[in-house]
Chains A and B, each alone.
Chain A
Amino acid sequence: MAIKNVMIVGVGGQGTLLTSRIIGHVALNSGLDVKISEVHGMAQRGGSVVTFVRFGEKVYEPVVEEGMADVIIAFERLEAKRYAKFLKKDGVLIVNDYRIDPMSVVVGARKYPSDIIEELTKTYNVVSLDAGKIATELGNGKVVNSIMLGVASKYIGFSKEEWLNTLVATVPSKTIEINTQAFLRGLDN
């Protein structure tokens, strides 16, 4: 099997780390070699963050480079735009339709680009959703991650059972039910 390359991009504090770990464990549990690369430290402070998951028979490089990604999960629109160039030709870009202004926009030095999703759709294979809204409907704003993961699971591979087993083993026990619901909502999206 060819190596699969997945990227999770977002803004520091959005929980991209946990998402990448779940993907990594699903692959590991099916007997594959896995590498996950994370960002710690400075970039956690509201900065742009990107984590990489690669899996297959034998993985060398721990990161995904430009033009290599099969799937990008973007937790924020501007970050989707920033990292879109990492996608392969037939790769899929999953975008949470959510906006967080970087400081240059807050202070008025730059404009937040308009129509990001429309623009990206012209070049890339884009799946967009308002995961924050779905999460609120489910009654917990914090399950955005599991919704996004549910959507992504269709493009990453592995069976529904394999995903759910790993999810259940990874999230805090009190939140298993709500996260399972969120994942399934994403899967049905």
Chain B
Amino acid sequence: MSKKIMLGNEAIARGVYEAGVKVASAYPGTPSTEILENLAKYEEVYSEWAPNEKVAVEVAIGASISGVRSLACMKHVGLNVASDPLYTFAYTGVNGGSVLVVADDPGLASSQNEQDTRMIARSSHVPLLEPSDSDEALKFTKFAFELSEKYDTPVILRTTTKLSHSQSVVELSERQNVEDKPYERNMAKYVMMPASAIGRHKVVEAREIQMQIDASTFPINKVEYNDKKVGFITSGIPYQYVKEVMPNASVLKLGIINPLPKALIEEFCKNVETVYVFEELEPVIEEQIKSWGIQVKGKELFTKQGEYSANMLKKAILNENIEIPTDDSPVRPPILCPGCPHRSVFSVLNKLKIHAAGDIGCYTLGAVAPLSVIDSVICMGSSISSLHGIEKAKGKEFTKNWVAVIGDSTFLHTGINSLINMVYNKSTGTVMILDNRTTGMTGHQEHAATGKTLKGEETYAIDLKALCKSVGVNRVFEIDSFDTALLEKALKESVNGNELTVIIAKSPCVLLKSRKSTFYCEIDQEKCKKCGMCLKPACPAITKDENGNVKIDTFMCNGCELCFGICKFGAIKKVEK
């Protein structure tokens, strides 16, 4: 057995490999993305990017029914998209073991909300496990497959950002040789029509009751008795904060959160005087324990928001007075990279004073000053449908300075459905697909229009223009994202026109290898009139010093020429690298 230091997500991938899984499908999403990226390195496992999470889970379901172990991964909001198959997968149960890894993001490092997957596990009656470091991530993943087969149910492995994105030491083992289960047609189990689903619902309830009893004996829970005056019930990363701050307290670390190991918890609470429940986000554990008539402390001390910390425990439990000096440094939120094609598109939209119903991806940053183009962002695919809603509510006159903006990966995720709705229900709006040839936000994953699979194999690249035409959009333009004049012309025509239009603004993400510029831009101080026009698109490489002199940082400049085209005085020149 060898030891390695691994990212939580990498350790999950290793666990999936060791568990003998044969099929895995996922759609990227921070903080879950690296699971499939790492799994793709194992030849023995078939792995793929699906266009969205619902598809990924259904792929895993098919593989499971056929008799092999399968996996689907997603971030927390991805489970919303996949919840339709999830709730009924709970009824059918599995043939080959099946695990869904769902990564929550308390603290919103990179998400649009802070929802708690443990709540969904409860309402869908799917068991949920939660590891607290990389080594457990590997071992719990393997255990999840055993549970899945033993109890005939899909299992959720829940992580949070801190677990997925921290590295710690793991012990590796060999891949298990798992025999395929024979496939047999079984209508009562797999065809969820009312008559059979009524029967399966009974199975689901009986299973959960049985698991609740058995859970108290699962080796993934850990009781550490120390000082019995104070104890903590906790799980996942919050366990680490408890150990850091309260080495002498008694701790019950739960590995399974749904269903809760009731007998184990009852015994712990009997043995310990004051019990705190220390769980990030919703009071999932706390409320259930209280419903059993047991007194514990929890959310009256610890917030439902954000990530927890050791300092938080020191303040709340040890009454330590931790003074953190305030700092008024200008904040540094994320921005579009120098040379990003989205900046070029937003500079045109900003100039034309166009509002945008936005979507999720790097281009969401088009909402912030000074670009300030995007007015709304909800969830993937929502830009196109909400623009349609605005038009139906307020009429064409209101939307004549509106567009929807959506990325290529997001368009294929769920945007296409919304476009079909626009065609079907006679919208006249303008949709801009910002096609940077990749899933940029999550770190450059391939998708159905890039021509490459997760494993790097060549495949058919869906033609976005032909796709839009085929669903009935007659006006579809493909324009280079940096051709600002043409973009401007097409936008003016279409927002004022009366026909549904799709403008595909195309240019590869500046971070892709295919787009390495051979020069950078520089300012000729003699010719510069300090008018500030080149600063308008908010390129981080262009700055103005205290004397009003404008400079381009040559380290940062990616030679996109956007500023070159904007300067009316010819003060920006291109220099060979």
The answer to whether A42 and B30 have CB atoms under 8 Å apart is yes
Kindly supply a per-residue 1/0 record for chain A positions 1-43, scoring 1 wherever the CB is within 8 Å of any chain B CB and 0 otherwise: 0000000000111000000010011001000011111111111
Contacts of B368 in A (CB 8 A): 103
Interface size on A (CB < 8 Å)? 53
Q: Does B337 contact A (CB under 8 A)?
A: yes
The answer to whether B310 and A61 have CB atoms under 8 Å apart is yes
Q: Does B13 contact A (CB under 8 A)?
A: no
Report the bound CA distance from A72 to B310 in whole Å: 19
Number of A-B pairs whose CB atoms are under 8 Å? 156
On whether A36 and B543 interact (CB within 8 A), knowing A78-B329, A82-B327, A104-B330, the answer reads no
Closest Cβ–Cβ distance, residue B292 to chain A (whole Å)? 29
- Residue on B with the closest CB to A64? B310
- Residue on B with the closest CB to A27? B5
Report the bound CA distance from A107 to B539 in whole Å: 10
Contacts of B540 in A (CB 8 A): 46, 100-101, 103, 106
Report the bound CA distance from A34 to B167 in whole Å: 8
Interface size on B (CB < 8 Å)? 53
The answer to whether A25 and B334 have CB atoms under 8 Å apart is no
Q: Does B195 contact A (CB under 8 A)?
A: no
The answer to whether A35 and B544 have CB atoms under 8 Å apart is no
- Residue on A with the closest CB to B440? A45
On whether A38 and B443 interact (CB within 8 A), knowing A46-B540, A107-B369, the answer reads no
Closest Cβ–Cβ distance, residue B357 to chain A (whole Å)? 21
On whether A106 and B543 interact (CB within 8 A), knowing A28-B169, A41-B443, A67-B322, the answer reads yes
On whether A102 and B330 interact (CB within 8 A), knowing A38-B167, A67-B322, A108-B544, the answer reads yes
Closest Cβ–Cβ distance, residue B7 to chain A (whole Å)? 8
- Residue on B with the closest CB to A48? B332
Dominant SS among interface residues on chain B = loop
Cβ 8 A contact of A106, one of B310, B441, B538: B538
The answer to whether A60 and B110 have CB atoms under 8 Å apart is no
Q: Does A141 contact B (CB under 8 A)?
A: yes
The answer to whether A41 and B109 have CB atoms under 8 Å apart is yes
The answer to whether B5 and A60 have CB atoms under 8 Å apart is no
The answer to whether B331 and A104 have CB atoms under 8 Å apart is yes
Q: Does A172 contact B (CB under 8 A)?
A: no
The answer to whether A24 and B167 have CB atoms under 8 Å apart is yes
Contacts of B365 in A (CB 8 A): 45
Q: Does B414 contact A (CB under 8 A)?
A: no
Report the bound CA distance from A46 to B538 in whole Å: 12
Centre residue among A67, A103, A109, A112 by max chain B CB count within 10 A: A103
- Residue on A with the closest CB to B543? A101
